[in-house]
């Protein structure tokens, strides 16, 4: 339907990519609301 579904971005150096991926999964795959997707704690591995 050619509608914008969302825009995701972030700041934080090395943590940007995993943070954006986790928020994307929370919202688009797990069907969480936008605010809940961002507020949910994230997991990082060095």
Distance of CA 2 to the CA centre of its chain: 21
- Which two tokens mark 33? 């609301």
Task: Judge if pTM exceeds 0.85.
Answer: no
DSSP for 6-45, written as a single string: ------SGGGHHHHHHHHHIIIIIS---HHHHHHS-----
Binned at pLDDT 50, 70 and 90, residue 40 comes out as very high
Q: What is the pLDDT of residue 38?
A: 93
pLDDT of 4-38, one tens digit each? 988 888 887 888 889 999 999 999 999 999 999 99
Domain ranges for the chain, please list them.
1-46
């Amino acid at each position: 339907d050619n509608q914008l579904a969302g825009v995701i971005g972030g700041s934080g150096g090395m943590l940007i990519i995993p943070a954006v991926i986790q928020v994307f999964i929370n919202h688009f795959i797990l069907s969480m609301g936008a605010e809940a997707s961002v507020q949910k704690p994230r997991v990082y591995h060095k």
